[in-house]
Amino acid sequence: MLTRFWWIGALSAAMATGAHAQTPMQDDPYQWLEDINGEKPMEWVRAQNARTEKALGEAALYTSLYNDILAVLDSNEKIPAVSKIGDYYYNFWQDKTHVRGIWRRTTLNEYRKKSPTWETVLDLDALNKAEGKNWVWHGASCLRPEYTRCLVSLSPGGSDADTTREFDLNTKSFVKGGFEKPVAKGDLSWIDQDHVYVDTDFGAGSMTTSGYPRTTRLWTRGTPMSEAKVIYEGKADDMSISSYHDDTPGYERDFVSRNLAFYNDELYLRDGNALRKIDVPNSVGKSVVREWLLLELRDNWTVGGKTYAAGSLLATNFDAFMKGGRVFDVLFTPTATTSLASFTPTRNYFVLNVLDNVKNRLRVLKHDGKRWQTSEFTGAPKIGTVNVSAVDADSSDAVWMSYSDYITPSTLALAEIGKTPEVLKQNPVFFNADNLVVEQHFANSKDGTKVPFFIVHKKGVKHDGSNPTLLYGYGGFEVSLTPNYSGTIGKAWLERGGVYVVANIRGGGEYGPAWHQAALKQNRHKAYEDFAAVAEELSNHKITSPKHLAAMGGSNGGLLAGNMLTQYPELFGGIVIQVPLLDMKRYNKLLAGASWMAEYGNPDIPEEWAYIQKFSAYQLFDPAKHYPPTFIFTTTKDDRVHPGHARKMAAKMLAANKDVMYFENTEGGHGAGSTNELAAKATALTYTFLWKALDGK
C-alpha cells in the first residue's frame, strides 16, 4: 500500500536455530551509501533508477498503470477535506493544474454544493516559481478569535524539516518582518498576537540525539529568534521537547511536553514561571479538554485504592486533580475484542470511536453534572471504517463523519450529535467493485494467537493457488490497519484480478496497548510470525501459492517486509520494501532512529543487540540463499527513516546477483512523492513489478 505519507515517528525473527538460522554479522562495505546527497551515492542512485525505469518503466503495463493511478490522484471529484477557521472552511488541494497545490477556502453553504466556489488563499506553484523553491505544504495554524494571522509551514521537497512563516489571511500574503522559523525539525505555535512558542534548532546542543528540539522557548514579536527565552530544556537523549497554548475560551492554559520516547512522556502545566507536572505514569496518554483531564492507560494503574485496566479511558476534573484529587470516572474499559481507537470532544459531548475486532463502533458520552450518560451515535454506519472529528468544539456539537471500506468509496457527512447525519460529499467510484467481496478471517500464529486479516477478492474466486495476491502489513507503534477505500489499489490491483490482503498483526493497535506491547523488542519475532501465519493460511486454502504471493510494507512495515525476505523467502514470490528500516545495527545513529529504541531496543547494548540482530534484515541477508524478486523504494528527502537503509540493502543484494529492483524518488519525504506525478510514478513502478513477479505480465 504505497501512500503519499507513512506513519512512524521515526517493525518474527525466528529462533537462532533450525530452518531460519542466523548468519554472523560482517563489516559493512556499503556504509558510504549513508551519505545522503554525496556525489558518489547519488551517482549510484541515478544508475539504479535508470536500470529500474528501463526494466519496468518502458513496459506497456507501466504506462497503463501510471495513467490510471494519476487519474485517481488528480481527480477533481475527490472529497475536498475541510477544516473550519473562523467563518470559512479551508482545504488544501492538488491536481494536474495545481501540482504543488493551493490553499483555498469557501463557506459552508458553498461547500454543500456539488461544485463549490473556492477562493484561493495561497498558491504553492506560484510561490515556488517566485522563490525558486520546491515547497511542500505542511499545514497552517491560525490565531483565534480574529483568525486573521496564521503560521504556515512549508517543507523543502517533503522532508519533516520545515519552515514556518506568519501569514495574513486578509491580504493573503506572508507578513513582512513577522514570525519566521528557518527550515529545521520543530514547531512554531501561537500564544497570542505577539508571542509564540518556538521549538527548533538553535545550534550546538539544542537538538536531541533523535534529531528533534531539546529546548522550548518563548519568542516575543520584534525580537530576534535567538533571544527567545528558554522555558524548558530536556536531556540530550530525550526524544523531543515542545510547548503549546490551549486557547479554549475560559480554559486558557499553557503546557510543556517532554517526550522521552514513544508512549513515554511527561506533561507539565505552565503556571507563571513554574512548571507543575501532571502526576500520572509516563505511559499514560494525557489530554486536557476544558474542565476535564482525560487519561488513556497503556498499563494497569493502581491509584486512589483502585486498579484500572490497561486500555481504559479515565476522566476527572483537571483543577481537582491538580489539587490532589484522585477520583476518576471510567469512560471506556476494553474487552478481549475491543479497544479505544480515539475520542473526539465537541461542545457538550465526547464521541468514542471503538474498535471491535477491527470494526469501528461509535459511542456518545455526556456529563449531566453528576455522572456520565452513554448513548449510541445516531446514524453511524454499521460496517466499514468510521472516523469523526469536531467541526468546532468550542461552539457546536457537530462533527465530520467519514466512512468507507475496501470496496466502498468514502462518504463525508456533517453530523450534529443526536440528529440524522447530512451526507455532504462522496468520492467517485475509481474502480469496478461489482464482483468483489470483503471477508475477515483469522490465522493461528506460531504461539496459538489468532491473528485477524481482511481479504478482498472476486466472488467465486478459484481455490487453485493461482491468484496473484498482495499481502500488506505494518505491525508497530500501536498503529491499527482498518478497511479503507483506495482508488490506487483498486485500479492497479483489484480491478485487474489481484487478491488484496491486510494482516492485523501484533505490534499494531487493533486490540489496544497489549497487542502492541506483545511484539516489542525481544518479542518482535511475534509480529513476523503473525504475518507468516497469514501467508501460510492463504496458501493452505489455495487462495494463492508462494509463487503468486507478495509481501509489502513501508517504514516500520518495510522492516517487516525485509524480514519476510530474509527469514521466510519460501513463502513468497515477490517482496516490496518501501522507505524501510533494515540495518538495525545502525538505525539508532541514522536521522530520527534513536527515537524508536523503545520499540526495537538499543543495538549498542550487547544484551539488546543479541535479540535485535535476530530481526535486522540487513545483517540477516545471506548471499548463498535464494530470495524471491524484490522491489525496494525510498526517497532522498526522507529525513525520518534514512534512505541508507534501502540503498545498502539493494547494493548488498545486487552484489550477490539477486533479483532486485531499486527506485529512489528525489522528493517526497517519508512517502511516495511530493506531487501526484511523483507518487503515480513510484506506485506504477511498484505494481508493474508485482504483476511481473507474480503473474508474468
The number of C-alpha atoms within 13 Å of 459 and in the hemisphere containing its C-beta is 7
The count of other CB atoms within 10 Å of the CB of residue 198 is 25
Q: Are 581 and 555 in contact (CB under 8 A)?
A: yes
Q: Which residues contact 204 (CB under 8 A, 6 or more apart)?
A: none
Strands 306-308 and 195-199: unpaired
Q: Return the H-helix or E-strand segment holding 536.
A: helix 525-540
Query: Which residues form the catalytic set?
Result: 555, 670
Is the Cβ–Cβ distance between 613 and 619 less than 8 Å?
A: yes
β-bridge pairing 301-303 and 306-308: antiparallel
Burial label for 374, CB within 10 Å (0-12, 13-18, 19+), is exposed
3-class SS of residue 71: helix
Q: What's the rounded Cα separation, in Å, for the pair 532 and 196?
A: 49
Determine the Cα–Cα distance for residues 184 and 201; give it in Å rounded to an integer: 6
Using an 8 Å Cβ cutoff, are 305 and 329 in contact?
Answer: no
Calculate Rg over the CA atoms of the chain.
Answer: 25
d(Cα 368, Cα 361) in Å, to the nearest integer? 23
H or E segment to which residue 10 belongs? none
Residue pointed to by grid coordinates 464521541 = 351
Task: State how far the Cα of 630 lies from the Cα of 275, in Å rounded to an integer.
Answer: 52
| Grid cell at residue 204 | 550546538
From CA 519, how far away is CA 507, in angstroms rounded?
5
E-assigned strand segments in 57-171: 83-85, 88-93, 102-106, 119-123, 135-142, 149-156, 162-168
Q: What angle do CA 671, 675, 676 make, to 5 degrees?
A: 95
How far apart CA 406 and CA 74 sit, in angstroms, is 20
Cell numbers found for residue 330: 471510567
Sign of the torsion angle spanned by Cα atoms 626, 653, 2, 473: positive
CA distance 415 to 557: 35
Beta bridge partners of 187: 199
What the block records as the C-alpha cell of 99 is 501540482
Three-state SS at 691: helix
Distance between CA atoms of residues 150 and 139, nearest Å: 10
CA 648, CA 660: separation in Å to the nearest integer? Answer: 12
Residue 402 grid cell: 467519514
Q: How far does Cα 46 stand from its chain's mean position?
A: 28
- What is the DSSP annotation of 504-531? --BTBSTT-HHHHHTTSGGGTHHHHHHH
- Provide the residue count of the chain: 697
Helix locations, 639-675, DSSP H: 644-655
Q: Label the pairing between strands 574-578 and 630-635.
A: parallel
